[in-house]
Amino acid sequence: MKLKNYILGHWTEPTGGDIPQYHAVTGEVISVCGSEGIDYAEVMDYGRRTGGPALRKMTFQERGLMLKSLALFLNGIKDKYYPVSYQTGATKTDSWFDIDGGIGNLFSYSSLRRKFPDSPFYVDGESIPLGKGGTFMGQHIMTPKHGIAVHINAFNFPIWGMLEKIAVNFLAGVPAVVKPAEQTSFLAQAMAADIMASGILPEGALQLICGSGVGILDHLTSQDVVTFTGSASTGRMLKSLPSIIENSVPFNMEADSLNAAVLGPDALPGTPEFDLFIKEVRKEITLKAGQRCTAIRRVIVPENLVEAVQLALAKELQKTVIGDPNAEGVRMGALVSREQVNEVRSRIEQLTRGSQIVYGDLERFEIVGADKNKGAFLAPIVLLNDDPFYKLETHHIEAFGPVTTLVPYRDLDEAIELANMGKGSLVCTLVTNDEKVARAYTLGASPYHGRIHLLNGACAKESTGHGSPLPLLTHGGPGRAGGGEEMGGKRGVLHYMQRTAVQGHPSMLTAVTDVYQYGAQQIEKVIHPFQQYFEDLEIGETLVTAKHTVTETDIINFANVSGDNFYAHVDATSLEGTIFERRVAHGYWILSKAAGLFVDSRKGPVLLNYGIDECRFTKPVYPGATIGVRLTVKEKISQEKKDENDIPKGIVKWLVDVYDETGETVALVTILTMVKKRE
């Protein structure tokens, strides 16, 4: 079977460049892929011209709901991808991380829409006054790039690699071209075919190149973004291409790294932490046959515990049954190909120049349900480097398979130094129950690692583990790990957007951002804003309330009701040496009184108070002061109906500006209400 590529809105067969794709267990050719005959300039132009405008017209809420629809659709048919995944050598557990984990990313980024406005763009941070008179200010906004995201993915997770990246660029409003690795692109294509057939994505939002993709980066512009997952050497080569350098194309690189696991000095044999450490290391050696960018390559342990760790790890690894993922009892499948086996064996040979194999055998091992001479099988290998500060191969060479090296340390400072000698990694794990050890290690190692996983008995049941990147946390690392970041919640979305500083009058910036900027022109209406439906409220619409003169009785009564008897409110004799001239009103009384001034008690479209975003008390309020409120519609965020019986509604953010008789602001608060829409 020859895999087709999805470009320019349809499936097309390559004209040549056939690359065989092998069944990892049987060694048989299952398909061929290629990318000859593709005009990449046309592919990029099509995505920018067709997919880009369609996505940019959508709001964050609409894009998030699109991701939710896609996630629900794929979740309903996910079982069909498991048999295809087994052909890559993956066990059911391996496949779960790839398939269910990828779909989980779609769900996570769908939910993240709630952190963004009901708008195609994002208002970033607070406004910045730039003039004393309040007529000139600045505000950062972030808009979707007018380019295309090119994702070059690794062979180990064909589905997760595709879905975790497109979830982010789609939420940002940018189309994508995905190029999975040739060895396993048949699995990515199987899911991509269903995605295209679903009709959930707008035309041009997603294109797929299953072959080598040579030339895919030759026609990039400054509006495009490249993400790369794979080996550090390949990533550096691609990052130095003229099209990347000349156009200053953002290049996010996530490279395989020499990740470490450190056993804390307190985690002695017999403790829960020691057992957790052995379990975690064993899992990272055998899961996906060690073919994970986050796999533990260096096992750093106290020198007096090396033998205990070696014996315990060997005992666990002996339970690992290797073979056909479909065979009963198999816990570790094959590497992706015989070529990959040869590559790993070559790296092991290099590692043994400074280390010795203390567990496993490259030749003598048993497999179940398959022919060892035909499939891409390799047994777990554990090495020992007895002099890690001088035998440096451990810190430079990675065998991308079921291989790890034991490394001894004498004290915590040495453990930190050894972990950092990997020159930058995606993740490291410290197993300890000593909080001081955890703090010292984290502060010493964090500049060299993208993620630090602190594991002990208290969090073990809920821990997602050393090797699991999570959608709302960044995935990447410095130095050898590529210097990039993926996912990370909002951080990842903003990677596909351009930050622009906009300057002007507050009214002008209000019109641009759809967020009321302090000092902008206000709109007053006869009807109370709490009597208006969501659709009828306008940004900048303002209610100016009646006023109230503050009395000492107000302060005393609030202290009695709230129980807040802080001295500045109730004891005028204790104010010497403070900033207060006399007894001062409670900040929360001011907020409560403000609500009493602006709330309309009649039943109307306002359903409930949803919360407070920001609250500042900017000036003391003493008895005799007269306060009033300007209540302004600051921002509106539409909400989708959860089901047909749900009330149509949206969230309205209000700026509550409480001022005194001098006109100065004494409190500035952003409150949220849930407001009904028209039926």
Instruction: Kindly tell me if the per-residue pLDDT of 190 is higher than 90.
Output: yes
Q: Under a CB-based contact definition with an 8 Å cutoff, are residues 627 and 621 in contact?
A: yes
Q: In whole angstroms, how far apart are CA 655 and each of 305, 371, 675?
A: 61, 70, 15
Q: What are phi and psi of 143, to 5 degrees?
A: -120, 150
Note whether residue 402 is domain-resident: yes
Span 215-240, mean pLDDT? 91
Note whether residue 7 is domain-resident: no
Note whether residue 509 is domain-resident: no
Coil, strand or helix: which one is 358? strand
Q: How many domains does the chain fold into?
A: 3
- Residues involved in catalysis: 254, 293
User: Same domain, yes or no, for 236 and 284?
Assistant: no
Predicted confidence at residue 168, as pLDDT, reads 95
The CATH number of whichever domain residue 596 belongs to comes to 3.10.129.10
Q: Which residues of 534-550 are buried (b: 16+ CB within 10 A; e: fewer)?
A: beebebbbbbebeebeb
User: Same domain, yes or no, for 269 and 212?
Assistant: no
State the pLDDT confidence band at 307, using cuts at 50, 70 and 90. very high
The helix (run of H) or strand (run of E) holding residue 629 is: strand 626-639
User: Same domain, yes or no, for 665 and 587?
Assistant: yes
Any residues with CB less than 8 A from the CB of 630 and at least 6 apart, and which?
Answer: 522, 542, 543, 544, 545, 655, 656, 657, 659
Give the structural domain span for 158. 44-130+139-256+491-498
The CATH number of whichever domain residue 168 belongs to comes to 3.40.605.10
The predicted-structure confidence for 498-554, as pLDDT tens digits, reads as follows: 999 999 999 999 999 999 998 899 899 989 999 999 999 999 999 999 999 999 999
Note whether residue 268 is domain-resident: yes
The CATH number of whichever domain residue 383 belongs to comes to 3.40.309.10
Predicted confidence at residue 322, as pLDDT, reads 93
Closest CA to 81 of 201, 16, 162: 162
Q: Which residues of 416-435 are buried (b: 16+ CB within 10 A; e: fewer)?
A: bbbbbbbebbbbbbbbbbbe
State the pLDDT confidence band at 487, using cuts at 50, 70 and 90. confident
The predicted-structure confidence for 112-155, as pLDDT tens digits, reads as follows: 998 898 899 999 988 989 988 889 999 999 999 999 999 999 88
Work out the end-to-end distance of the chain between its first and last CA atoms, rounded to an integer number of angstroms: 54
Closest CA to 33 of 158, 148, 149: 158
Q: What gap in Å lies between CA 416 and CA 487, rounded to an integer?
A: 27
User: Same domain, yes or no, for 243 and 267?
Assistant: no
Note whether residue 329 is domain-resident: yes
Instruction: Kindly tell me if the per-residue pLDDT of 572 is higher than 90.
Output: no
Q: What gap in Å lies between CA 147 and CA 223, rounded to an integer?
A: 4
Alpha helices in 461-523 (DSSP H): 490-494, 506-513
Strands 486-487 and 474-475: antiparallel
Instruction: Kindly tell me if the per-residue pLDDT of 679 is higher than 80.
Output: no
State the pLDDT confidence band at 105, using cuts at 50, 70 and 90. very high
State the pLDDT confidence band at 231, using cuts at 50, 70 and 90. confident
Any residues with CB less than 8 A from the CB of 327 and at least 6 apart, and which?
Answer: 368, 369, 370
The predicted-structure confidence for 316-332, as pLDDT tens digits, reads as follows: 999 999 999 999 889 99
Which three-class secondary structure string do you get for 125-191? EEEEECCCCCCCEEEEEEEECCCCEEEECCCCCHHHHHHHHHHHHHHHCCCEEEECCHHHHHHHHHH
Q: How far is CA 348 from the centre of its chain?
A: 33
Percent of the chain with pLDDT over 90: 78
Output Rg (C-alpha) for the chain, integer angstroms. Answer: 30
User: Same domain, yes or no, for 263 and 234?
Assistant: no
Helix 60-77 and helix 185-198: axis angle, to 10°? 120
Bridge partners (DSSP) listed for residue 254: 229
Span 67-73, mean pLDDT? 96
The predicted-structure confidence for 273-295, as pLDDT tens digits, reads as follows: 999 999 999 999 999 999 998 99
User: Same domain, yes or no, for 279 and 251?
Assistant: no
Q: In this structure, how many other beta carbons lie within 10 angstroms of the beta carbon of residue 594? A: 24
Note whether residue 22 is domain-resident: no
User: Same domain, yes or no, for 528 and 454?
Assistant: no
Note whether residue 505 is domain-resident: no
User: Same domain, yes or no, for 432 and 550?
Assistant: no
Predicted confidence at residue 535, as pLDDT, reads 93
Note whether residue 508 is domain-resident: no
User: Same domain, yes or no, for 247 and 267?
Assistant: no
State the pLDDT confidence band at 455, using cuts at 50, 70 and 90. very high
Token pair belonging to 517: 């900027």
Q: Which amino acid is at 210?
A: C
Q: Under a CB-based contact definition with an 8 Å cutoff, are residues 620 and 579 in contact?
A: yes
User: Same domain, yes or no, for 465 and 523?
Assistant: no
Predicted confidence at residue 102, as pLDDT, reads 93
Alpha helices in 395-525 (DSSP H): 412-420, 435-445, 490-494, 506-513
User: Same domain, yes or no, for 669 and 551?
Assistant: yes
The predicted-structure confidence for 619-668, as pLDDT tens digits, reads as follows: 999 999 999 999 999 999 888 888 888 889 999 999 999 999 999 999 99
Alpha helices in 318-384 (DSSP H): 338-351
State the pLDDT confidence band at 173, using cuts at 50, 70 and 90. very high
Predicted confidence at residue 606, as pLDDT, reads 92
User: Same domain, yes or no, for 525 and 377?
Assistant: no
